[in-house]
Structure 1
Amino acid sequence: MRSAILALGLLAGAGANAAELPSVEHFMRYNTYSSARISPDGKFLAIGVDRNGQDVLTVIRLADMQLMKVNVLPEEKSVSGYRWISNDRLIFTSVQKFGSFAQPRGTGEWYAVNADGSKPEAVIFYGSRGTTGRAKSLGNESYSLLDPLVDDPRNVLMTAVYPRSKDGAGTELVLVDTFTGARKSLARAPRENCSIQVDEKKKPRYAVCYDDKNEQGQFDTRTELHVLGDDGKWTLVSNADIDGGKQLRVQWAAEDGTIYAELDDGKAPAAFGTVDRATGEFTELFKDPVSEVAGFVVSPVGDKALGVITAAGIPKVTLIDEEHPDAQLYASLAAAFPGQMVNFSTATRDGNQIIVSVFSDRNPGELFLYDRSSGKARFLMKGRDWVKNEDSATVRAFDFVNRDGMRIYGYLTIPKGSDGKNLPMIVNPHGGPMGPRDNWGYNPETQLFASRGYATLQVNFRGSGGFGKAFEDMAYGQWNTGIMHDIIDATRWAIKEGIADPGRICIYGGSFGGYSAMMAPVVDPELYKCAFGYVGMYDAQIQMKLSDTSKSSSGMRYLQRAFGPTRAEQDAMSPITHASKIDLPVYLAAGARDARCPPEHTEALFAALKAAGNTPEGMIVQSGEAHGFYDVGNRVKLYTEMLAFFNRHIGGKVEVGTAERTASVD
């Protein structure tokens, strides 16, 4: 199949005059909006808006941009996961925010309301309330939206998960009335731990089920695929144990009946393709030897896959259905925003009006409304309207071969106007380590560092997501060895390339990045001049006793495989064991309510370093914060202290001017 690749290429050029430094608060404020969805008939725009840390749902009439309604939830709950049910009705759920390194926690509640604010209904909740006055008390099940059924003005499809189901089939497909909350069961999953997918007729058809234990009893993730026949019986069609380790996972169904799926052999990144409805045969449409599919370009009408997005470095779109008219429209829009990532966001039911999202390393994100009849795109809003793209730093992709012969990928944020040479540098490992990764785009944290003259190096070390399961699995038992080698090798690569001043490099990170900030200097004591650990994990024993991960059997299996099953292995990989070797300036910060990496980690490491004769220069244990600080004031305090710490040890400004950029389309 012929393919077209739209590549984003970036080059930084020399700068001009230094500009006045923006405040720390300039970078720590949250985006004005989180997302936007146009109504099926194109009359309204629903927008998730941040209001002093709480996300509210606003509705605007597009004809005159008149504000119709602001939906605010009580008890500082935030609106999330909203979708249009019909031309003038929305459904949304609520979440509680607990920090920048933790996913917002769903409350289990779902609400529906008309665009003008009329006919509000608490559809799913715990307790007895609602406009109907009918009791709707729920047990321990949780609900998620599967399909809004925009052609059905009353109902939506939801999946309900029952953790303690008597028959083990813990997932159920449910039709939910958004005016009364009435629920009708449509299908039960074939076993526990499944998700249900529907076909083009919105009928239950596939179940992707998973296990988190291998034959040796270790933590591992495996999936199997079941198909629901017309006789109402489930049939197993794919299982890793019987298919040589291959895992077939259905993604979605297009309106024409095309079933999209991915086939993963557990080694290379998964292939994307289609599944034959009759035979179950997989036909490959795309496969990259390095990068997993990070996203899709889907037609505004019909849900056809037009292209796939890969992101080993700078995001790249490969069109897989070039002849589709919407693929040609996408190529035209992408060409109109050179050097930026473009995608369809949402569209009207007829596809005549499309919300188009645009972002880049220097653009925090913008939304445009494209009208097919006029062929023009109208600017709607910017995520951070106080940010000037031209004042932002450039993010370059890089790759190198590590000491083990593996090619490793990452990103460098270079201060605006710098020639990118001999810079003070902050090495910033990401959290995880299994699954999360660093991405190309506008990053307020690295932009803050760049505004003060620091380059920032981010490396997708072994274990990072996006490069296949085998690459992720390399992280098990390798926290203090292989992963640290990747981080150190990336640092030394930046020195060899002349990017980093070898005498002015600090390391900083949050969560697993905080762990890395303490462990990397143990492995290579001469490389870093200071280390800042933020909501980090420093003692395997504390993590295995106090963390929320340790509270489940699955979590304990994960920790034992990640750390090693023996006490000797766990001690060897714990920074606290090596406190006497952490012989550089240290600063620590934690959230007092952090359940993932409890503050006891930070307090224990502080005490151990003090006992070893290296008392940290500071420690913040912030009340009210969890796994990452969320309050803007607390974030400003944190990063103000952090910048002062870096300045004391590797301080030194570079000229800050404008940067040039070029983009290419291959």
Structure 2
Amino acid sequence: MNQLAKIILILFALCSSWSTFAGKQDLIQAFSKSSEFQNVQISPNGDYLSVIMEENNDAKLLILDMKTLKPTYIVDFQGKGEVGDYYWVNSERVVMEKVYRRKWEEIPHYYGELFAVDADGRKAKYLFGYKGGGGTGTNVNKTKAIRASAFVLDSMPENKKYILVHSRPWNNLNYAVSDVYKVNVYNGKRKKLTSSPTVNADFLVDHDGKVRFSFAQNDKNDDLNYYFDEQEDKWLTAERYQGDLKEFWPISFTEDNNAIYAYGREQENTRALYKINLTTNQREKIIQHDVVDPDDYYIDYQSKLLYAVQFHDGYPEYRFLDSKSEKAKTVKQLQATFPDHYVSIVSQTQDGERLIIRISNDKNPGDYYLYDHKNVKLNYLFSSRSWLEPEDMSEVKPYSFKNRDGLTIHGYITIPKGKALKNLPLVVNPHGGPHGPRDYWSFNSENQLLAQRGIAVLQVNFRGSGGYGLAFEEAGYNAWGSKIQYDIIDATKYAIEQGWANQDKICISGGSFGGYSALMAPTLAPDLYQCAVGTAGVYDLQEMFDSGDIPDYYGGEAYLTEVLGNDPEVLKEMSPTNHVDKLKAKVLLLHGEEDERAPMEQFEAMEKALQKANYPYEKKIWTKAGHGFYTPESRAEYYDALLSFIETNLAL
């Protein structure tokens, strides 16, 4: 048995907890560590349990005998790649993506290669990728090479030999027509079934394994939806199904394949779930929330039937398509067992009798259970981060208030455990994006670390955030340096007015767009923040059109023009590089040299502006980090720099 096998056996036997009385460096290490277990699945017949586990920043796939929880095989590329996403394609065989970590960069990259292996390690096969037909430096058998990136479209667990693969050719990858192949999971032989009618398309497959829908956006980010007409043997526009809906997105088929469920918006409203009859074109609104968009949907892994939608108006909420269905009853039972938790079915057997359940909440980063549906029995498996005890973590509470314009703004505040929500030092933590992302009620390592040091953390779903309807999101367009920042400032003032925060001990810190806000908001409210931390931030908005990866994406330049405009004077006015003279806060800039989203040109522009104004600042650069910190080592360095700066400047 190799070292990794010994490690997992020890982990199953022992639970090394961590104490709130740990010192600063112990805390940093505890919150920097990666999850022990990720992407837990059960095989279709229930004989095997599989899980991704990291060892020395190298992700491996462990396949365990369900009865003994002892490894039957460990997929280890021995330093020549790592395991990414994976799929059980029958009761004995797993197909996985292979990712690579480049020497000069810490985040793994996927180049479209698929591998397959049996649960006992036999019949290893290279199924799809550019290295087929030649040596790769591994002992895995090869197949015919193809210069394309593959993504499993349908694992077809009811079919023991084949899967459907969605492939994008490498010639001009961002502007390529997508293909669908039927691939033999034992020998890698493939047959092209169809190509998309547009570039950068995704597909929806029905219950018979037929590719029925293709959906994408054009270079102006308008919807392009098609369905395949078998009688005419070609793709036709799906306008008759979409109608006047915006952001139309097919999700799944009904059991008889005669209708689909799809998300869409009517005008500026919140996104709703619709059922659309494919014969009559009749559209029926099934589920819609008045305040928020759906943020997740749940499909039965084996039947492929949609059974629930999740919303997040403060706390998570489930709505079932059929509240009397067996799946709905099961989820409700589990919710009753784990109140105040997310409850997710992450995998299940073919007969639906055994389920892998993941629970999590604001204090719990995630626990896994095996649920025996037939015998109504629940068995604990393991925790994703067993050294963090939920009872030692801090509560995250939703809040809402009216901003200066009378608009309702929602957010969350993390309250240090054992502290009253009164006169606390505060870190305001604006999220990235800004359009599309939003903050949720969930476990956040960085915020929990700050809370362990007695610091409250304020998150703000400002105008422009996703999830609150299209009108709310579009309200932030062309307002990065104004209305969005006023929402963050108003939320900070609200925390002071409520008595939550000590007005003399407030710092603002964020990453990406949050890094932009961390430097922009203090120029609009100079006396509100004592310190500001910009991590991987954009600071010169005109530079976004000239560097970084957004303009390289299909529709990227159109997106920037839509959300920022193209008036040089407005972009200049909204850039913190041009407002250093208004700053009073202490400044820390943190950046990774391999950042492609907010490249070093952004950091250099901000640094140059600070130097020109002779404004004091601190900085730290990571040579291998990209747009964020991927390894425990980098995260630990980041947390150390962040915490030291905040505690020093808030005199904690």
TM-score (ref. length: structure 1)? 0.89
Deviation at 1:645, TM superposition (A): 1.1
Residue of structure 2 equivalent to 1:572: 573
- Which amino acid is 2:128 matched to? I
Residue of structure 2 equivalent to 1:31: 35
- Which amino acid is 2:316 matched to? P
> CA deviation digits over 1:491-519, x for unaligned, max 9?
11111111111111100011111100000
Q: Matches of 1:270 and 1:34 in 2, distance apart?
A: 30
Compared CA separation, residues 133 and 225, structure 1 to 2 (3 A): closer
Residue of structure 2 equivalent to 1:625: 625
Q: Matches of 1:249 and 1:559 in 2, distance apart?
A: 23
Which stretch shifts more, 521-530 or 279-288?
Answer: 279-288
Q: Matches of 2:553 and 2:44 in 1, distance apart?
A: 42
- Which amino acid is 1:178 matched to? V
Q: Matches of 1:550 and 1:248 in 2, distance apart?
A: 24
> CA deviation digits over 1:291-340, x for unaligned, max 9?
11111244465333332110132111123311112211211111001111
> CA deviation digits over 1:541-570, x for unaligned, max 9?
433322122335632332333332122112
Residue of structure 1 equivalent to 2:155: 148
1:36-55 matched pairs, under 5 angstroms:
36-55=40-59
2:129 is equivalent to residue 129 of structure 1: no
Q: Matches of 1:378 and 1:540 in 2, distance apart?
A: 52
Q: Per the alignment, in what secondary structure is the counterpart of residue 579 of structure 2?
A: helix
Please report the RMSD computed on the Cα atoms of aligned residues, expressed in angstroms: 2.5
Compared CA separation, residues 132 and 633, structure 1 to 2 (3 A): closer
Q: Is the 8 A contact 1:225 1:249 kept in 2?
A: no
Q: Is the 8 A contact 2:129 2:150 kept in 1?
A: no
1:211 corresponds, among 210, 215, 218, to 218
Deviation at 1:357, TM superposition (A): 1.0
Q: Per the alignment, in what secondary structure is the counterpart of residue 27 of structure 1?
A: helix
Q: Per the alignment, in what secondary structure is the counterpart of residue 198 of structure 2?
A: coil
Q: Is the 8 A contact 1:224 1:239 kept in 2?
A: no
Q: Matches of 1:512 and 1:82 in 2, distance apart?
A: 32
Per chain length, whose mean CA-contact separation is higher, i.e. which structure has more relative contact order (CA < 8 Å, sep 6+)? 1
> CA deviation digits over 1:359-391, x for unaligned, max 9?
011111011000123211100110001011100
Deviation at 1:133, TM superposition (A): 6.4
Structure 2: tracts of 5 or more residues without a match = 1-18
1:71 corresponds, among 62, 69, 75, to 75
Deviation at 1:432, TM superposition (A): 1.0
Q: Matches of 2:107 and 2:216 in 1, distance apart?
A: 23
1:138 corresponds, among 138, 146, 152, to 146
Q: Matches of 2:20 and 2:619 in 1, distance apart?
A: 33
Q: Matches of 1:245 and 1:286 in 2, distance apart?
A: 15
- Which amino acid is 2:603 matched to? T
Q: Per the alignment, in what secondary structure is the counterpart of residue 278 of structure 2?
A: coil
> CA deviation digits over 1:404-460, x for unaligned, max 9?
222121111110011111110000011111112212111110000000000001111
- Which amino acid is 2:632 matched to? V
Q: Matches of 2:487 and 2:114 in 1, distance apart?
A: 44
Q: Matches of 1:603 and 1:248 in 2, distance apart?
A: 40
Q: Matches of 2:227 and 2:559 in 1, distance apart?
A: 26
2:188 corresponds, among 181, 187, 201, to 181
- Which amino acid is 2:398 matched to? A
Which stretch shifts more, 629-638 or 176-185?
Answer: 629-638
Compared CA separation, residues 384 and 552, structure 1 to 2 (3 A): closer
Compared CA separation, residues 184 and 104, structure 1 to 2 (3 A): same
- Which amino acid is 1:581 matched to? K
Q: Is the 8 A contact 1:98 1:630 kept in 2?
A: no
Q: Is the 8 A contact 2:128 2:143 kept in 1?
A: no
Which stretch shifts more, 591-600 or 123-132?
Answer: 123-132
Q: Per the alignment, in what secondary structure is the counterpart of residue 302 of structure 1?
A: coil
Q: Matches of 1:273 and 1:204 in 2, distance apart?
A: 20
1:133-532 matched pairs, under 5 angstroms:
136-139=144-147, 141-162=148-169, 170-213=177-220, 220-238=221-239, 243-244=243-244, 246-257=246-257, 259-299=260-300, 301-532=302-533
2:619 is equivalent to residue 611 of structure 1: no
Q: Is the 8 A contact 1:206 1:225 kept in 2?
A: yes
Q: Is the 8 A contact 1:38 1:46 kept in 2?
A: yes
- Which amino acid is 1:232 matched to? D
Compared CA separation, residues 97 and 436, structure 1 to 2 (3 A): farther
Compared CA separation, residues 55 and 165, structure 1 to 2 (3 A): closer
Structure 1: tracts of 5 or more residues without a match = 1-16, 214-219, 653-666
> CA deviation digits over 1:514-551, x for unaligned, max 9?
10000000111111110011111111243332212233
Q: Per the alignment, in what secondary structure is the counterpart of residue 595 of structure 1?
A: coil
> CA deviation digits over 1:123-167, x for unaligned, max 9?
11213337796662223x32211111112222100112247599x
Deviation at 1:247, TM superposition (A): 4.7
- Which amino acid is 1:423 matched to? L
Compared CA separation, residues 303 and 552, structure 1 to 2 (3 A): closer
- Which amino acid is 2:216 matched to? C
- Which amino acid is 1:137 matched to? A
Q: Matches of 1:43 and 1:18 in 2, distance apart?
A: 39
Q: Matches of 2:48 and 2:399 in 1, distance apart?
A: 42
Compared CA separation, residues 49 and 515, structure 1 to 2 (3 A): same
- Which amino acid is 1:93 matched to? E
Which stretch shifts more, 156-165 or 412-421?
Answer: 156-165
> CA deviation digits over 1:61-119, x for unaligned, max 9?
101111111112355633222110100100111234699x9985322111111111111
Compared CA separation, residues 227 and 406, structure 1 to 2 (3 A): farther
Compared CA separation, residues 84 and 245, structure 1 to 2 (3 A): closer
Residue of structure 2 equivalent to 1:3: none
Q: Is the 8 A contact 1:239 1:246 kept in 2?
A: no
- Which amino acid is 2:484 matched to? I
- Which amino acid is 1:576 matched to? T
Q: Matches of 2:569 and 2:334 in 1, distance apart?
A: 57
Deviation at 1:171, TM superposition (A): 2.0
Q: Matches of 2:531 and 2:621 in 1, distance apart?
A: 20
Deviation at 1:189, TM superposition (A): 2.2
Compared CA separation, residues 353 and 473, structure 1 to 2 (3 A): same
Q: Matches of 2:311 and 2:566 in 1, distance apart?
A: 36
Q: Per the alignment, in what secondary structure is the counterpart of residue 638 of structure 1?
A: helix
Compared CA separation, residues 255 and 119, structure 1 to 2 (3 A): farther
Q: Is the 8 A contact 2:395 2:416 kept in 1?
A: yes
Q: Per the alignment, in what secondary structure is the counterpart of residue 476 of structure 2?
A: coil
Deviation at 1:39, TM superposition (A): 0.3
Q: Per the alignment, in what secondary structure is the counterpart of residue 311 of structure 1?
A: strand
Q: Per the alignment, in what secondary structure is the counterpart of residue 477 of structure 2?
A: coil
Q: Per the alignment, in what secondary structure is the counterpart of residue 190 of structure 1?
A: strand
Q: Matches of 2:199 and 2:39 in 1, distance apart?
A: 33
Deviation at 1:266, TM superposition (A): 4.6
Compared CA separation, residues 413 and 555, structure 1 to 2 (3 A): same
Q: Matches of 1:273 and 1:542 in 2, distance apart?
A: 41
Q: Is the 8 A contact 1:266 1:468 kept in 2?
A: no
Q: Is the 8 A contact 1:269 1:289 kept in 2?
A: yes
Compared CA separation, residues 48 and 133, structure 1 to 2 (3 A): closer
Q: Per the alignment, in what secondary structure is the counterpart of residue 344 of structure 2?
A: strand
Q: Matches of 1:505 and 1:221 in 2, distance apart?
A: 42
2:96 is equivalent to residue 89 of structure 1: no
Q: Matches of 2:564 and 2:240 in 1, distance apart?
A: 28
Q: Per the alignment, in what secondary structure is the counterpart of residue 47 of structure 1?
A: strand
Q: Per the alignment, in what secondary structure is the counterpart of residue 399 of structure 1?
A: strand
Q: Per the alignment, in what secondary structure is the counterpart of residue 199 of structure 2?
A: coil
Q: Matches of 2:633 and 2:111 in 1, distance apart?
A: 25
- Quick one: percent identity of the two aligned structures? 32
Q: Per the alignment, in what secondary structure is the counterpart of residue 555 of structure 2?
A: helix
- Which amino acid is 1:51 matched to? E
